[in-house]
Amino acid sequence: MNTALTRRDAWGSAALFVLAFLLYAPAIGFDFINYDDQRILLGQPALFRHTQLWPGVQAIFTLLPREEPLLVRDLSWLFDSLIFGFGNPLGPHLGNVVVHALVCALALRVLRKLGFTPKVAFVAALLFTLHPLHIEPVAWAMGRKDVLSTFFALLALDAWLSAEAQEGPRRVVALAASLLFVSLGMLSKINLLGLPMVLLAGSWLKARQQERPLARATLAAAAVQLVVVAALFTWYRSTVAAYGLLGRGPPTSSPTHLFELASLVPAEIVTYLEHLLVPWDYSLFYDVPAVGIASSPLEVLLGWALIIAAVVGAALARRRLPQVSFLLVALGLTVLPYLNIVYIGIITANRYLYLPSLFGAGLVAIAAVHAYPIRPLGRALVTALGVAWLVVAMTQHVRWLPAWANDDTLSLYEVTRSQPTLHGYEARLRVVVRRAEGEAPGAEREALLEEAMALVQAGYARYDALGVEPVPGYYNYQRYYLARLHQWEGRILTATGAPSEQIIKAYEEAYAISPASRLIVFLLADAYRVTAARQRAADPDAAAALAERSLALLERYVGLIETPQDAARIQGALDRLLAENPGLQGVEALRARLGRTDLRNRASRTHHIED
């Protein structure tokens, strides 16, 4: 089979680059959003706020451990800051759009080198380019790791396939380049664990096409890749473990964990298939599937049926349809790291399908291209399905891409979906309550506070509808967002001048759910302080007890402190508490303890910004 790249392939890649760039060009002018951008990028000036390259490189390689030690991704952000200035969203967004356009161009090149026909390769790359699933990783600054790791993954596959056609020193150089790209990809996003096996599957596909056995040298090169990937993964895991982000949940081999996986993994598979085939109503953060929320038996059965069908299909297709077999294997290997098998974190996310969707698009392209010539039914069916999918996909693109412009537009999109998520309600509350707090008393402020309270009540109703039953030992995002809803209710009640008892009740409910939230602890402490000040004249003893409760909560806050901003917040709270309660014991001792607190390497155990 002739897989030599032609001028038509080059023009096709160029066209895909231009199309992808034009589709996502509006994202270049977007702002940051208050979901990881603040903590992982903007909250790290020591890493990225530099006027010269070398100090930034030193910081990135030495300021460890940290939450995401993705050295190559971080270097790309450093270059953004050097060129456009730290805190300027233009750099991260422009970089994402350009890298995504390069990925789309590379997709066609790699598929052609894998032996796919020009028509199948172009249809697959076009589907990948047009799929609105990619809006999240491209339009979000945090998506840099997804687009960059996929870029290096495709370069690695391209170099690996080039080595198949080379001998002697040229082959060694191509294999070395592939190993370099795999390493760069892993240090852009660690989830490329299965990439060496994808490369090996590509070699197997080429061997099948050329009717020759798989070379031993290829197996040896793949073994080297696996060793390097294992070493990088071990380093990464030990680094984030030292930061404090691992160790939550039962051990991987425990019966409890295996029981959860038995229903969770198939539910994830069904969800991902739905997101791939039906590009509609996407969200940044999905409520289900999740630990503690039962998946339907039908969904679990369907998920297992899909898993079995994919495995059996890959095995049966290896002789007569080796390209289908390769795509199924590559799809499985690139999805597998996101199935929460070792560690259950965020269950499903659109960005997780960025690279896997290319192989899924290849399967759809093969089916469409082979069904189209079957007249008249095949052509009519393929045309109808293609047009319908394109209309839905472009409609979702028009709806969702502008939503990523800023916090206001994204949160508004989330709460106007057919079924808003808990995260969507919380994100919208953040915008509405802050806006209300910044307004002068009047009708506009009252309307915003009414809107905010309605969002809180809708969030509570959503939580009840989910039927959450927390599983001991697992972090539960739904409970986290429930705590945030109570927290926002407390802030709304404060803004409306509600009785102190109602405010404290809301914050106490939030604290009971999330006692490690620094912001909730602080707000509850401040509510007790304010209540103590109000009651001092009428009931000095009750006021003293309330002040002591406030101090006890501030003491807990010191134990949770992570940033200089936390320290400043506590100092201000202690100043106010002591000014209002001159005889309060323990304030100076807590000040001294705060002064001894070392903020270096203090680990954040949540995935969310505290504002």
- Contact (Cβ atoms closer than 8 angstroms) between residue 289 and residue 347: yes
Cα distance between residue 283 and residue 299, in whole Å? 20
- Average pLDDT by consecutive 10-residue portion of the chain (611 residues)? 80 98 99 94 95 97 93 98 98 99 99 97 98 98 99 99 92 97 98 97 95 92 97 95 78 89 96 97 96 95 98 96 98 96 87 98 96 83 94 98 98 97 98 96 97 99 96 91 98 96 98 95 97 93 95 94 88 94 92 81 45 50
Burial degree of 122 (CB within 10 A; 0-12, 13-18, 19+):
buried
> Of 577, 598, 591, 596, nearest to 522 (Cα)?
577
What's residue 393's pLDDT? 98
pLDDT of residue 140: 98
Q: Where are the domains of the chain?
A: 7-31+89-404
pLDDT at 138: 99
Q: What is the pLDDT of residue 605?
A: 43
**What local confidence, expressed as pLDDT, does residue 1 receive?**
54
What is the pLDDT, as a whole number, of residue 377? 81
For the whole prediction, is pTM greater than 0.85? yes
pLDDT number for residue 609: 41
DSSP string, 379-404: HHHHHHHHHHHHHHHHHHHHHHTGGG
Question: In angstroms, rounded to a whole number, what is the distance separating the alpha carbons of residues 496 and 488?
Answer: 12
- Give one DSSP letter per residue of 287-351, joined into a string: --SBTTBPPPHHHHHHHHHHHHHHHHHHHHHHHH-HHHHHHHHHHHHHHGGGS-SS---S---GG
Q: What 3-state DSSP class applies to 406? A: coil
What pLDDT was estimated at residue 607? 41
User: Which pLDDT score is estimated for 349?
Assistant: 96
